Chain A
Amino acid sequence: MLEIKGLTADIGDKTILHGIDLVVPNGEVHAVMGPNGSGKSTLAYVLAGREDYAVTGGTATFDGQDLLTMDPEARAAMGIFLAFQYPVELPGVNNANFLRTALNAQRRLRGEDELDAIKFLKLARAEMKNLAMPDDMLKRNVNVGFSGGEKKRNEVLQMAVLRPKLAILDETDSGLDIDALKIVAEGVNALRGPGFSALVITHYQRLLDHIVPDRVHVLAGGRILRSGGPELALELEANGYAGVVAEAA
């Protein structure tokens, strides 16, 4: 279970998060929606451990463990996965090597046996098939020369191979056409179950047609202004964020 209480964070001398309270129980998918600049991506980065942000107050725990004192790699090994809004290109590192290095690093940190190349390839190829990705994506350098949609699909592939307990999807829908959106959504839905929870950060409602959330939260000005069921997303789609923001002010 992810529990965030009174979380505040700065970048440089600017405060972005003004006290976030949010609980995502195991097995649930929650959406975080909000206008541009509301702090959605900052929340994602802070949970994943990006050092550019300074946490100035509050707590964030996962399954009772204090996330904020952990290195990013330790958070990943305990099952937290951030699907990047802008996946990073790694020239000179091929996708297969990257994925296997990541998987085995996590397994090592958890005290599990590493996967050999053959077992790994079998696993990766099966997941790629589910995501309608061609086999040669494994040989290509990570995200180099990938289209926007391929990059996002590659994030979901990593998620499928790494099998996190909590996935944070930072605007994974941006830049996707409808077919790619469906594939990505199916990739997330396939992981749904009691041992998997997700925080789906999005600007638009359309992703939530395909990944139906248990709860929807509206983030604006660095605070959660409203929470509700999936119908809240529809209301936002119809009326925009202005109503919610005005109501809270």
Chain B
Amino acid sequence: MSASVASSRAPATGGFLARFEGFRAQLPGDPDRRAQAADLFRANGLPGGLPGRRAEAWKYTSLRPVAEASFREPLTAIADCAGLLARLPNVGLPRLVFVDGRYRGDLSADGFPAGVSISTFARSPDFGALARPERENMVALNTMLAEDGVRISVADGVDGGTLMLVNLATEQSGRATAFHPRHSIRLASGARLSILEVSLGDGVYLHNPVTELVVAAGAHLSHVRLQDEARTAFHLSTLYADIAEGATYDSFALNLGARLARTEIHARLGGTGATVHLNGAQLLTGSQHADITTVVRHDAPGCASRQTIKNVLSGRSRGVFQGKIEVDRIAQKTDGYQMNQALLLSPDAEIDCKPELEIFADDVKCSHGATVGELDRDQLFYLRARGVPLAQARALLVRAFLTEALDAVTDETIRDALEAAVSRWWESEPL
């Protein structure tokens, strides 16, 4: 009895430490950084994995199912990913493909514009300067076990065009796998880049990427993520963005897949007039759980942050939005906006929304809001009075709610790809 109590109070680590001990000699990059991360992970374990150890940041999302699963090394050599590749949006973009967390040059394009350089974490391992493993336990786990990831840099004033970053997970019969990609994307002054990032897969796996984005003065990075993981998968992503003077990071996350997903973003507006957009939509059913957590730090005057998150929740699904805006005392003329909207299509669906404002400057404009509701009765009647049957009227209104969210994506090709993903979701999940 006492032994079981003691073990339930130890950090839940899901067998990851054992894997680290077995593989550490083969892992690329600074061994000291990894050892530090392992110490942090050993001390803190998986966040929210056990009762009594829930950090505030993980109040609504428990990683107990991750702690209870036993994940193993992916066997990429046997992976057949033709079926997965066929499910990618047909957008004709040059792509960089990772399978089970490892770069696959044979499936990736080359021939990017001059000034765009592409490499991998495996080739040039660099943990960067933005990630905070001491604060985010999933990042400690990633730092401990990261093997590969993309490294993109765009030189001064270069327009790098649009590319697709692909993360595929293959089904490995009877094996639950885990991989921890470490991505880094850097735009020099005045550079531009647009990325469509797609994550999809089959089987049971944990996809735990950490991404570092550096957007230098006047640069513009557009980043649209389509998370369409297997319904049996865990997707826990952490992203850090550092946005300099006059630069823009414009992001959108569409969460459709995974049994449990968390999209965590830490964005720092570090130079005057920087802009960040963290928009997103989550479309959940069954017992899916998806969490968008953002921390936007205004560290310079005259910066703008915009966040609109829309949730469509059916079945017993649960959506979470936690949004924190921190305004430093020098960040006068800050313009911060945050909105979380949820459409609950079932009495058993749930949305948890936690806005937090921490403001130390006195001349700022910060607002947040949340709406939760069912479909509008007047709108339903209007459609029915025009001859549209109830089920079709409901579907049309839900699609309309999502269409408004997708309007935040300005690139038409990419928006069409998201619309198509929503349509596919729709065909498989009639409401």
Contacts and interface: CB of A to CB of B under 8 A. Distances in A.
21 contacts: A49-B385, A50-B381, A71-B390, A73-B384, A73-B387, A73-B389, A76-B386, A84-B382, A84-B385, A88-B378, A88-B381, A91-B400, A91-B404, A92-B401, A92-B402, A98-B383, A98-B386, A102-B386, A105-B388, A105-B389, A162-B387
B399 interface: yes
B387 A48 contact: no
Interface in B391-411: 392-393, 396-397, 399-404
Given A90-B379, A92-B404, A101-B392, A158 B399 contact: no
Contact of B396 (A50, A93, A106, A158): A93
A49 B388 CA distance: 13
A105 B377 CA distance: 19
- The size bracket of the interface on A is 20 to 34
Given A72-B381, A88-B379, A102 B387 contact: yes
Given A88-B378, A105-B392, A72 B401 contact: no
A88 B384 CA distance: 12
Nearest to A142: B382
A162 B390 CA distance: 18
Interface of B: 377-379, 381-390, 392-393, 396-397, 399-404
A102 to B, nearest CB: 4
Contacts of B404: 91-92
A106 to B, nearest CB: 4
A39 to B, nearest CB: 19
Contacts of B388: 73, 101-102, 105
**Max chain B CB contacts within 10 Å: which of A81, A87, A90, A109?**
A90
B386 A158 contact: yes
B160 to A, nearest CB: 32
Contacts of A51: 381
Contact of A82 (B385, B393, B400, B401): B385
Contact of A92 (B377, B387, B393, B400): B400
A17 B361 CA distance: 60
Going nearest first, the 3 A-B pairs with the smallest beta carbon separation are A92-B400, A76-B387, A106-B387
Nearest to A143: B382
A71 B388 CA distance: 10
A207 B392 CA distance: 35
B379 to A, nearest CB: 6
Contacts of A75: 385
A104 to B, nearest CB: 9
B396 A72 contact: no
A77 interface: yes
Contacts of A73: 384-385, 387-390, 393
Nearest to A97: B396
Contacts of B399: 92
Interface string A101-113: 1110110010000
**Max chain A CB contacts within 10 Å: which of B377, B382, B387, B388?**
B387
Contacts of A103: 387
A103 B379 CA distance: 17
B343 to A, nearest CB: 11
Contacts of A76: 384-387
Contacts of B392: 101, 105
Contacts of B393: 73
B66 to A, nearest CB: 35
A143 to B, nearest CB: 9
B43 to A, nearest CB: 48
B384 A72 contact: yes
Contacts of B379: 88, 90
B393 to A, nearest CB: 8
Interface string A99-133: 00111011001000000000000000000000000
Given A90-B379, A101-B392, A105-B392, A72 B385 contact: yes
